[in-house]
Structure 1
Amino acid sequence: MSPEMTYRLILALVMGLLFTGLLYWKRPRPVTAFSGKEKHRYTPYFAYWLLPGFLLLIVCFLPLMLPRGGGSSLLGLLFQAFLHLALYNSLLLLLLPLLRRFLQPQTCVVLWLLPNYLYLCMSSENFQLDRPLLILRLPAAAICIGCWVWAAGFAVVLGWKIFSHLRFRRRILKDALAAADPSTARLWEELRQRAGYSSKRLPLLVSPAVSTPLSIGLFPSTIRVVLPQRDYTQRELDLILRHELVHIGRGDSTAKFFLTFCTALCWFNPLMWAAMKQGSEDLELSCDQEVLDGSDEEGRREYARLLLRTAGEQAGFTTCLSASAASLRRRLQRVLHPARRFICGISAGLAAFGLVMTFGWATLAYDVTGQEVFFPGDTREHWRISSIGLTDAGNCQAADPEALMDYLAGLELECLAGQYTFPRQERELSIFLSGPDGVRFLSIRDDVAQSFPLGTASYEGGNRYLVAGGVNWTYIESLLNPE
């Protein structure tokens, strides 16, 4: 096993063990003071910005890397990311009825959000595979057009979602006022302190523009809890506000942004849209379970009646008590008839292990010629062979330099999107070429070729090319004279 695969296996085992234990200890805990800092009763499952932040960083640097030879590597990472997301979430969508039957909603939520940690496989060269197991071969023009179409769709979907969120936020907060009812304010203060938030955080507002209680805001300083202009009993307010505090503490609005980002990344896959909708529904199911933890049958019935009476509009990255018609039946069934379901952290551990181990198995490839790879930027006549090395023969001289360069220029190669190590093979031809731009190194093995100018960074010269049909070693040897 190569060192890279060993590192990957260790990472997969560590991630599997971590997420196996996550579901057993990630539960509401009592509020305690420590060093003057807030200890929140509810905390997020993940740092939801990891994968979106990393992929957006790649997109930002892609224009800079394209002229310097790193475009295919970054393109490979993007392709592998949305391919993994699409396959994983599609599989999870198909298994969801079975998972919801036997597992608690918290387990399903963790399964939906696990791909957030794919960035670990993308951010280090130590986890590269030896070679891809599946290569999708497309013309270079088709890949170029596909990239532009994908980028346009990604920008439109994500931009529209963000715009809708900001427009909805502005509309509901424009005429919102602080809750003036003393009993409501007193209850909110009590619940907020019990959840571990200071009195300066999380303002409670009343707005004429909403018809259902909700919380909105992706960052701690922007979070607002908004109630409609209607009367609630103290018991109803207690359930509503506890529901929103669970959402806020766990960062469910940010989790919904992560699900939206994944949808935009794989906007061409209709299963992803359905999968992300189900993921948002599981966030609500798990929140219901947190609120009703320890409630008796009468408390559950009261919560079910509140669900039936609470209906309204929600948009953007908001969380609210109201349920859509499609999910209301399922939520009511879970509330009124809570069946025994299992945490089953091993399911999250196995999913994390599989995600890490299989990342990079598939990649894109497009045809290029040896002329483009070995003699870029100028005609072949301007390049001269400085030295040649051949495995088992040592240093060699070219008996016919022009014939050798003709053979190299005519090789049919496939450029792989992404980085792979391709372990050292039995034979290797090493050539140093001198040209107008300096010295260039060529390495040709049984089925892999590489070429880069000396002194470049690894991302500029790390691309490896598959040699279609292999290398004709007999012909190459006939053109060389050992020193």
Structure 2
Amino acid sequence: MSDNALAYMFRIFWIVFLAFILVDTFCKSWNTENGKNERVLPNGHGTFVGYDPILFPIIAAIYLALCIGIPAAKKEDILLNAITLMDMVLFITIYFTILLIFLPVLRRYYMAKTCAAFWIVPVVLYFQPNMLETFAVPPAVVFYIPENFLTILGCIWITGFGVIFTIQVMSHLRFSKKLQTNSRPVEDDSLLELWNKMKKEMDIPLIVDLKYCSEINTPLTLGMRMKNTTTYLPEHSFTDEEAELIFAHELRHIQRRDTHMKFFLRFCCAFGWIHPLIWVAVRKAEDDLELSCDEIVLKDADKDKRRKYAELLLSIAGDSRGYSTCLSASARSLRYRLKAALPVKNKRKGVVLLFLIMIASGLCTGRLALSTNRGTLSELAGPDTAEISNADVKSGRYDDFHEIKDVGELSQYLSEMEVERILTGYENETSEGGLRGEFAASNRSFALSGNFLSITNIVSGETEKYYIRISLDWEFIESLK
């Protein structure tokens, strides 16, 4: 079996494995939230789908640090990490845009929890991105960006990302400080009793606090760590039924760790800031978080309870800031939430669709190569690079390599070949099958396969990889035997 076949098999296996993790945790999360006794998550106050959403910003930050924060790193290593970042940015922008387009249809036929889960695919996909490169496959896309332009573009993107992300974090910290300064503990015994009872029923730690705050109009939850998580209520009196609905909604956010999801979405907004539709997509994703909590709160509700819930949303409409979740969002999403609160027919869970989306996403990522130099092989690798001393060629029609006798003609052909120097983890096919050439020239060895050429310096062991822009004339090469 060829190296490429093994690489493709491993890649497909790994993608299916990630897809299984996604749908398995989705089903377990759904069972946990709906009080099922079988196939539930062991930790009831972490019912996120896949992996904790905060892992994606951590992974992206590691690659960003490798690109700009290690002075001793080789230029090639820095650019390879830059390719991974580019792959992340491209996938996020394209995937979120497609999801935004199809979201009205998805919301119509699938549960709100499923729609919210669609946004989490990048977290699972890039949980361990290095695994996708263990057996690299040929790049599907080669981006040519002149090195000077790439530097300028990279500086613009990093500057924009840094500014936007810093503004987000500072805004969150200011908002958090403002709430803490203008809040007071809830002292109503009946309210606290209901709050603690519902926390216990949902297996949420008792350390999660409840306070009144004079600076807000709608209940919201703030806190990236469980021990610092607080639910704030506006200075407003609520009936027992209203309080129960509010607590049910906010505790679901806490149970799912939706503040982490909010952080992930806002990070994606900064990460793909250059694409305007990302900003719209992130707002829609935040709406799906609220809709999915509405859905579970009203799961077994009758018409009267749904009506009261809709009235509650109207009476405390507001907006959240920072990495917080709130019960009643502003007018931009309120109409849809009110409509969703009315009795509706059962929607599909969408496990199969979620699985297929994950598979398709996995197949579309990790196939990017970057090129910063373009020209003939002699221009990029040196005029004496392709002075071939001996050469062998092999095709699927033959069992063994056949020697090329007219090495002079081959040298001329190779030196004039239009190529791009690329950065990729892909190594040329070394096993049987397909068209392949192996050449030698002084202290260099060549491996030619498909539209890819590797040139290895025998002394230093360093390898340069090239993408051949025009399909090789294999018939001409074989005719030189």
TM normalised by structure 1 equals: 0.83
| Match of residue 100, structure 2, among 75, 90, 93 | 93
- What residue number does 1:164 align with? 171
Equivalent-residue separation in structure 1 for 2:196 and 2:258 (angstroms): 21
- What residue number does 1:13 align with? 16
The 8 Å contact of residues 194 and 244 in structure 2, kept in 1 or not, is answered as yes
- What residue number does 1:429 align with? 439
Q: Deviations over 1:228-280 (max 9, x none)?
A: 22211222111111211100110111111111122222111112111111111
1:298 and 2:308 matched: no
- What residue number does 2:59 align with? 54
* Post-superposition offset of 1:25: 3.4
Q: Deviations over 1:266-320 (max 9, x none)?
A: 1111121111111110110000011122122211111111100112342111001
| Match of residue 137, structure 2, among 129, 134, 144 | 129
Structure 1 residue runs without a partner (length 5+)? 434-439
* Post-superposition offset of 1:11: 2.3
| Match of residue 43, structure 1, among 24, 47, 64 | 47
Equivalent-residue separation in structure 1 for 2:240 and 2:459 (angstroms): 71
Q: Deviations over 1:383-415 (max 9, x none)?
A: 9x999665557799x999xx97x9988765313
AA paired with 1:326?
R
Q: Deviations over 1:332-361 (max 9, x none)?
A: 111123232111211101100101112134
Matched position secondary structure for 1:238: helix
AA paired with 1:49?
I
Written as runs of structure 1 = structure 2, the 5 A alignment for 1:224-239 is 224-239=230-245
Equivalent-residue separation in structure 1 for 2:378 and 2:235 (angstroms): 72
The 8 Å contact of residues 178 and 205 in structure 1, kept in 2 or not, is answered as yes
Comparing 353-362 with 252-261, greater Cα deviation is found at 353-362
Written as runs of structure 1 = structure 2, the 5 A alignment for 1:438-449 is 443=447, 447-449=451-453
Change (3 A) 1:366 1:191: same
Equivalent-residue separation in structure 2 for 1:291 and 1:473 (angstroms): 65
Equivalent-residue separation in structure 2 for 1:242 and 1:78 (angstroms): 39
Structure 2 residue runs without a partner (length 5+)? 394-400
AA paired with 1:130?
P
- What residue number does 1:414 align with? 420
Equivalent-residue separation in structure 1 for 2:418 and 2:229 (angstroms): 57
| Match of residue 353, structure 1, among 353, 356, 359 | 359
Written as runs of structure 1 = structure 2, the 5 A alignment for 1:109-124 is 109-119=116-126, 122-124=129-131
Matched position secondary structure for 1:322: coil
The 8 Å contact of residues 287 and 333 in structure 2, kept in 1 or not, is answered as yes
Comparing 418-427 with 364-373, greater Cα deviation is found at 364-373
Q: Deviations over 1:16-55 (max 9, x none)?
A: 44444444332215599xxxx9952661123213322222
1:175 and 2:179 matched: no
Matched position secondary structure for 1:26: helix
Written as runs of structure 1 = structure 2, the 5 A alignment for 1:314-463 is 314-368=320-374, 370=377, 374=381, 390=392, 392=401, 412-424=418-430, 425-431=435-441, 433=443, 443=447, 447-451=451-455, 461=462
Comparing 355-364 with 50-59, greater Cα deviation is found at 355-364
- What residue number does 1:219 align with? 225
Matched position secondary structure for 2:120: helix
1:206 and 2:212 matched: yes
Comparing 43-52 with 107-116, greater Cα deviation is found at 43-52
Matched position secondary structure for 1:198: coil
Q: Deviations over 1:121-180 (max 9, x none)?
A: 731223522232x33333222222211111112212222111111111111112322212
Comparing 156-165 with 122-131, greater Cα deviation is found at 122-131
Higher normalized contact order (CA 8 Å, seq sep 6+, divided by chain length): 1
* Identical aligned residues as a percent: 26
AA paired with 2:53?
Y
* Post-superposition offset of 1:99: 0.7
The 8 Å contact of residues 219 and 246 in structure 2, kept in 1 or not, is answered as yes
AA paired with 2:305?
G
Equivalent-residue separation in structure 2 for 1:26 and 1:144 (angstroms): 44
Q: Count the aligned residue pairs.
A: 457
- What residue number does 1:2 align with? 5
| Match of residue 263, structure 1, among 261, 266, 269 | 269
The 8 Å contact of residues 428 and 453 in structure 2, kept in 1 or not, is answered as no
Q: Deviations over 1:83-120 (max 9, x none)?
A: 12222111111111111111110110111111212215
Change (3 A) 1:253 1:127: farther
AA paired with 1:430?
A
Equivalent-residue separation in structure 1 for 2:109 and 2:294 (angstroms): 17
AA paired with 2:165?
L
Matched position secondary structure for 1:278: helix
Equivalent-residue separation in structure 1 for 2:170 and 2:43 (angstroms): 33
Equivalent-residue separation in structure 2 for 1:217 and 1:20 (angstroms): 27
* Post-superposition offset of 1:12: 2.8
Comparing 96-105 with 355-364, greater Cα deviation is found at 355-364
Equivalent-residue separation in structure 2 for 1:304 and 1:456 (angstroms): 71
AA paired with 2:151?
C
- What residue number does 1:148 align with? 155
Change (3 A) 1:336 1:362: same
Equivalent-residue separation in structure 2 for 1:344 and 1:308 (angstroms): 30
Change (3 A) 1:49 1:387: farther
